[in-house]
Amino acid sequence: MSLQLFDTPGPKARRQLACWNTGFGIAFAAFAGFIIWSLNEAGQFNPAYWTPFLDPGIIKALVRGLVATLRAAIYAIMLGLVIGAILAVGRLSGRIWIRVPATIIIEFFRSLPPLLLVLFLFLAFTFAFGRFGSFLMGFLPGTLVAILGIDQMDRLGPLVFALALYQGAILAEIFRGGLLALPRGQAEAGYSIGLTKGAVLRFILAPQAIRIMLPTTVSELIILLKLTALGYIISYQELLRTGRLITASYNNIIPTATVMLVIYVLLNMAIARFARWMQERQEHHYGATSLSQMNVAHAA
């Protein structure tokens, strides 16, 4: 913590703090007690609602849902990285007929709600994606089809492409920030030894920028993982949809939602910890960068 908001408390302040602590403690305990009481009143602690999560069949379904969520997130981040890199380079291009369209595309996809994009691609291309899926299923082995999720292509496709376009536009801005954050002497040195613009980008700027941006990109993965839950609305069988199916047969919405919450929070906290670890390692190697403080507007 850089800012010391409070002095070390003296005897009087310590007594005051103890009072506040007790007050807040009682308030939170009352709040928690009220929630537990009303859950109990509604019969939500009935074991019949909770035991399904020990059932091997349900656990298997949940794992399958989790795999579907991760699959969509991984596809979307890979596609989003490619789209983001192309758009970032396009926006930095010296040619106006590349720069202006790239800027328009970035700003367009950045300011749309991801759900609008998902719905649009679903309504427009679900049949095309479905046909492409069954075309691939024609000659791929069954296990590969199941692992890659090709059998659900009609819903996976729109979801992945919508999220990749949205996230790609946001990643493009992160990449551009990374490229611009490098000292100008780097590019100038490249030009002075006679490298072309493309070569400077490829051999000098990109390798350094990628290193700076890596932690930010990993934390973007958290946002993407949360966004895959939008697949719920077009009934892609991801984690949340699987949970909804469980509630349909056991009528246990609150226990199921609790389990979902725990899974998502643990998963995302693990990714966040990984990103922080990368950040710290990098600051250790290269010194702190201002990039970690970059603010990128995004919805999730």
Partner 1 sequence: MEVLVEYSDEILHGFGVTLLLFVWSAAGSLVFGTALAAMRVSPVPIARGFAAIYVHITRNAPSILLFVIVVFGFPVLKIQLSFFTYAVIALTIYKASFVCEALRSGIQAIQPGQTEAARSLGMTTGQVLRYIVLPQGFRSSIQPVNNTLIALLKSTAIAAGFGVTEATYQLDELVRDRPDVLYIIFFGIAAGYIILTLAISGIAQLIGNRLEVVR
Q: By the 8 A CB rule, do 215 and 224 touch?
A: no
- Using CB under 8 A as the binding rule, whether residue 21 contacts partner 1 is answered as yes
Tell me the residue ranges of DSSP E strands in 44-157.
none
- Using CB under 8 A as the binding rule, whether residue 172 contacts partner 1 is answered as no
- Using CB under 8 A as the binding rule, whether residue 44 contacts partner 1 is answered as yes
In the complex, minimum distance from the CB of residue 223 to partner 1, in angstroms, rounded to a whole number:
10
3-state SS, residue 108 = helix
- Using CB under 8 A as the binding rule, whether residue 48 contacts partner 1 is answered as no
In the complex, minimum distance from the CB of residue 119 to partner 1, in angstroms, rounded to a whole number:
6
- Using CB under 8 A as the binding rule, whether residue 2 contacts partner 1 is answered as yes
Which residues in 108-137 are b (16+ Cβ under 10 Å) and which e? ebbeeebeebbbebbeebbeebbeebeeee
Instruction: Out of 63, 78, 248, 261, name the contact with partner 1 by CB under 8 A.
Output: 261
Angle at the Cα of 156 (from 150 to 162), degrees rounded to 5? 140
- The Cβ of residue 177 has, within 10 Å, a number of other Cβ atoms equal to 18
- Using CB under 8 A as the binding rule, whether residue 296 contacts partner 1 is answered as yes
In the complex, minimum distance from the CB of residue 236 to partner 1, in angstroms, rounded to a whole number:
12
Instruction: Out of 78, 265, 286, 288, name the contact with partner 1 by CB under 8 A.
Output: 265
Interface positions, 83-112, toward partner 1 (CB under 8 A): 107-108, 111-112
Instruction: Out of 30, 36, 38, 207, name the contact with partner 1 by CB under 8 A.
Output: 38
Separation between Cα atoms, residue 166 and residue 276, nearest integer Å: 24
Nearest to 122 by CA among 151, 159, 96, 147: 159
- The Cβ of residue 92 has, within 10 Å, a number of other Cβ atoms equal to 18
- Using CB under 8 A as the binding rule, whether residue 113 contacts partner 1 is answered as yes
Nearer to partner 1, 181 or 263 (CB): 263
Q: By the 8 A CB rule, do 116 and 205 touch?
A: no
Nearer to partner 1, 54 or 297 (CB): 297
- Using CB under 8 A as the binding rule, whether residue 208 contacts partner 1 is answered as no
Strand (E) or helix (H) holding 94:
none
Q: By the 8 A CB rule, do 90 and 98 touch?
A: yes
Q: By the 8 A CB rule, do 77 and 221 touch?
A: yes
Contacts of 195 by beta carbon, 8 Å cutoff, 6+ apart:
203, 204
- Using CB under 8 A as the binding rule, whether residue 229 contacts partner 1 is answered as yes
- Using CB under 8 A as the binding rule, whether residue 150 contacts partner 1 is answered as no
Instruction: Out of 227, 237, 275, 289, name the contact with partner 1 by CB under 8 A.
Output: 227
Nearer to partner 1, 189 or 254 (CB): 254
In the complex, minimum distance from the CB of residue 225 to partner 1, in angstroms, rounded to a whole number:
8
Angle at the Cα of 149 (from 108 to 210), degrees rounded to 5? 50
Kindly state the number of chain residues that form the binding site for partner 1, as judged by CB under 8 A: 59
Q: Where on the chain is the footprint of partner 1 (CB under 8 A)?
A: 1-7, 9, 17, 20-21, 24-25, 28, 38-39, 42, 44, 107-108, 111-116, 119-120, 123-124, 222, 225-230, 232-233, 240, 243-244, 247, 253-254, 257, 260-261, 264-265, 268-269, 272, 295-300
